[in-house]
Structure 1
Amino acid sequence: MNQYSKTLGVFILLISYLNSSIFSHYSKDNRYNFSIEYSDRNDAIPIFKRNGVWGDKYNPKSGENIALMNYRADIGVLFDTLYLGYAFRYDMFIKSDKSTLDIINLIKNRDDLPLNHKYSIYLEALGFSSDNLIVSKEFELINSNSTNLKVYGGFSIIRASKMQDGKIKAKADVVSKKEYDFDGLIDDYYYTNNRIYDLKVDDSIGYGYSLNFGLFYRYNKHSFLFLAEDFLSNIYWKDLPYSQVNITSNKKEYDSDGYIKYKPSVSGYELYKDYTQKLLPNLMLEYQYKYSSSINLGVGSQYFNGYLLPFVSIAYRESSNISYKLGYDIRFEQFSLELDIYDFKASLSTNDIYDPSALNINISYSF
């Protein structure tokens, strides 16, 4: 069962606030732009202890628990309102339940398992890593003292080298304080590296595209920002490893302390198939109210794979070149601070100083 924790560690982890990250290169008059984003958010597990003992900061929700991870680096050049750039992306979405996380936590802690207890196991993973060539353009449709309307459109060509897309459904019955029986199904599992059981596979490469859209509207003191990333977007994989297998604990092995090892017996289908991976659309809507000449109040939400991720913010503009923003992410209980000083922008958000389960770091520079 230790492999379950390894699987969750690899999978558990897309995307910090979309705020203006997709089209942030239009916010400056400078021609060149460079940015780095690190985002790692989940409901239950301290991110720096994910591969070790989770400790007393393990705090799952009673129902579904999700995890989002996004690493991204962008570099590009702006020609008036046309942007050309390159981006590296690593995106992952994980969904599990409290029962799955509880038994993993007990095993990682080497705690006694509750006799005769039955655990349901559910884990879903969707993600990829890719190199991307980006073309985007801004269109300013209205620009007056009271009203401003801008539309952004973007297109990315994707070359992907890593992916995970599949589900585990299983049951584990505790038979002693150190042992359990389990059986389950690995359902429609596509991958470039099998994280569920040991299996060497050939490398695969996927090619595809991503569409992005943005709209900004301001009327007097009120403004709205809508962003959509990866809508109607696909990656096409050739000869991708695929498993549809049953797993059981028919053959058991134990460690030196008498704890059962996760060494599943596998039966089913292992193939290579062509596969179209549909990217999950990531949407964001934000409303801002200009409270005064230097203070803006904001409220909005990200919407991703059926989950609303609301946030609030207050921004203070010290001068035309210096501003600060405080924010709060409601689901992950993250406080954030953003600094925008001349051509440099940086933000940090976390829900704990020492053992966060959610941490975002963003840095960008325009010149």
Structure 2
Amino acid sequence: MALLNLFHSLKQQLAFIVSIVFFIESANAGSLAIFNLLDLPKQKNSVYVNTQTLLANDAFSLKGLFDDFHGHFSSQNSDYKAIGDIRYDIGTYVKDSFYIGYAYRKEATIKTSPDTMKLINQVSNELDLPIGKHYRVALEIEGFETHGMVLAKTVPLYQSDHWNIKLGLGTEFLYGMQTQHGTASGEAEAVSRTDYDFFWQSNYLYTENYLYDLDVNKVTSFGYTTHIALNVACDNISIDFIANDVMGKLYWKNLPYSNVDLSSANKSYDENGYVIYAPVISGFEGNTKFTQTLMKKWRIKGKYSLGNDSFQIGTDYIDDTYLPYIQYTHLYENNILSTVSYETYFHMVGVDVKYKNYYVGIQSNGILEPSAMKIDFGLQYQF
């Protein structure tokens, strides 16, 4: 099944990478890999190194992703979403004036219809198909991989006895290595317990074709993006707004594309009678110029501090998906900073600890078979 191959290959691209985070100051709020200009170092001879990795979906456990979608499946009537978000930063302040650094990024979001995921689950686990059932197949993918040079600066806008307002501005000059951008949609019908017919259409731009076997030449791109952050604090209350990729573009030349129809006319069967497809493909393939607009990401959070305790509420956002969270932080007498948090979309619980220049944290929505997870470790290096 071509769509199953596409979804499985893309999931592998989002596969969980245990991340090591070298982080500065307080525990990492939120779930996305956000470049927070308000947390950049300002000390001379200090290096900022920060890596963040998130893999989250609401269909299968992470274990199931590695095991051809076998195992527990969460059934729902709304669209399924998967997010892979990786960002690695290393940089420093130049002459106490502005930040300069390097960033590696890999991001992807996948949205699928409920019928798509139900069919994938039934086929992957060789479950009996309900004869005569019609499936509405729909999938959207957006993603990229880049290297970049970052320039950023945070400046005070207003200070008084009670108020403190800061603004951060940043830009990245990007070198793009991979992209996925497109849709697949159509219909499928179960014709027996082990067989189904399908027909769908795909409009797809890519650096590697996961929909069907097709060798393409390697292409790269250049581009840019911008970030902004604002902090408004009054006594023990503060509000932060951080936006990444406010205006972000990648300019691809000779990017492969496929505008094709796929059908199930060519079938074979395995030893258990389950159908195997080599889909019949018709349509157009070629190369084109393509300007890719990067997905906007942002975080807004409010914090209330009371002595050694602070309470925070906020949300992250990417690709029409909100990830709200709440967080409680306590500072102990031995300078240990501990945080517990709860994210409400994927239901991840987080525990974070910072001691001196070291930081460790984990967010997960399960112990044995989570479907969403983020892991952080960190330190600050000053020479």
What's the CA shift for 1:263? 1.6
RMSD: 2.0
- Which residue of structure 2 lines up, in the alignment, with residue 351 of structure 1? 365
Question: Separation in 1 of the partners of 2:31 and 2:329?
Answer: 15
How many angstroms does 1:321 deviate by?
4.5
CA displacement at 1:253 relative to structure 2: 2.3
Quickly say closer, same or farther: Cα 1:145–1:18, change in 2 above 3 A: farther
In 2, distance between residues paired with 1:310 and 1:364? 24
Q: Which moved more, 1:300-309 or 1:125-134?
A: 300-309
Q: Distance in 2 between matches of 1:207 and 1:311?
A: 35
CA–CA distance in 2 between the matches of 1:20 and 1:172? 39
How has the CA–CA distance of structure 1 residues 203 and 91 changed in structure 2, closer, same or farther, with 3 Å as cutoff?
same
Q: Which residue of 2 aligns with 1:154?
A: 170
Deviations 1:67-106 (A, max 9, x none): 1101222211123241111111110001012111111111
Deviations 1:107-142 (A, max 9, x none): 111112111111111111000111111111110223
Question: What does the per-residue CA deviation read over 1:3-53, in whole Å, with 9 as the maximum and x for residues that have no partner?
Answer: 433322333459963587433652574610212212001111111221425
What TM-score do you get using the length of structure 1 for normalisation? Answer: 0.94
**Cα deviation code 1:194-240 (max 9, x no counterpart):** 01111111111011011111011101121100000011110000100
Greater alpha carbon shift after TM alignment, 137-146 vs 244-253: 137-146
2:34 and 2:218 mapped to 1: Cα distance?
35
State the match for 1:4 in structure 2: 3
Listed as ranges, the matches of 1:118-157 within 5 Å are: 118-157=134-173
Residue aligned with 1:111, SS: coil
Aligned pair 1:92/2:91, yes or no? no
Aligned-partner Cα distance in 1 for 2:282–2:234: 62
Q: Distance in 2 between matches of 1:161 and 1:9?
A: 21
Instruction: Count how many residue pairs are aligned between Structure 1 and Structure 2.
Output: 364
1:331-342 equivalence runs, <5 A: 331-342=345-356
User: Structure 2 vs 1, CA of residues 174 and 202 (structure 1 numbering), >3 Å: closer, same or farther?
Assistant: same
125-134 vs 77-86, which moves further: 77-86
Partner in structure 2 of residue 362 of structure 1? 376
Q: Secondary structure at the match of 1:6?
A: helix
Q: Structure 1: any 5+ residue segments left out of the alignment? A: none
Q: Which amino acid aligns with 1:286?
A: K
Aligned match of 2:63: 48
d(CA) in 2 for partners of 1:55, 1:231: 38
What are the within-5 Å matches in structure 2 for residues 11-22 of structure 1? Answer: 11-12=10-11, 13=14, 17-18=31-32, 21-22=35-36
Which residue of the partner structure matches residue 288 of structure 2?
273
Partner of 2:329: 315
Kept after mapping to 2: 8 A contact 1:45/1:60: no
Determine the structure 1 residue equivalent to 2:23.
Answer: none
After superposition, residues 183-202 of structure 1 pair within 5 angstroms as 183-187=199-203, 189-202=204-217
Question: Aligned partner of 2:347: which letter?
Answer: E
CA contact 2:33–2:53 (8 Å) conserved in 1: no
Q: Determine the structure 2 residue equivalent to 1:211.
A: 226
- Equivalent position of 1:61 in the other structure: 76
In 1: Cα distance, 2:255 partner to 2:8 partner: 23
> What's the counterpart of residue 275 of structure 2?
260
Give the letter aligned to residue 23 of structure 1.
L
Q: Which residue of 2 aligns with 1:229?
A: 244
SS of alignment partner, residue 232 of structure 1: coil
Q: State, as a whole percentage, how many aligned pairs show the same letter.
A: 27
Other-structure match for 2:22: none
- Which position in structure 1 is the counterpart of 2:20? none
1:23 to 37, 40, 46: 37
Task: Report the equivalent of 2:24.
Answer: none
Q: Alignment partner for residue 114 of structure 1, among 106, 112, 130?
A: 130
Structure 2 length as normaliser, TM-score? Answer: 0.90
Q: Which has the higher contact order (CA 8 A, sep 6+)?
A: 2
- One-letter identity of the residue aligned with 2:5: K
